[in-house]
Amino acid sequence: MKIAIGCDHGGISLKGEIVPLLQELGHTVDDKGCFSTESVDYPDFAKAVCTQVQNGDCDRGILICGTGVGMSMVANRCEGIRAALGNELFTARMSREHNDANVLCLGARVVGPGLAAEIVRAWVSTEFAGGRHQRRIDMF
């Protein structure tokens, strides 16, 4: 799978943990930034990742900021994006199985690297169940 990833300055450290994990799991990563702890505007990075998913250049996206909330708000304004705030395992898994989430948002100040790794593993490995859930997604 090809996964776009982006963060703001609050998520740079966690992104540094997630990129090698995705690669270790066999995924190709398209890192859209940011690349330093200097203050940046998170909507720029959310839009960059979402554009990759919208265009089909990437299968899914991961966005990281301090809480994950700002990134999820921007991402969900992008047509065709179903972004889920997944700061714990059950929600991350269900966001894929029931909602076919194509973008995962994480809060670097909410989850540590260990839990974030578990969340990402669950999210990338969970398949969409389809069926009645597809009918609901078609209603968007």
- Active-site residues: which are they? 65, 98
Cα Dmax for the chain:
45
Tell whether the torsion through CA atoms of 87, 89, 90 and 96 is positive or negative. Answer: positive
CB-neighbour burial class of residue 61 (10 A; exposed 0-12, middle 13-18, buried 19+): buried
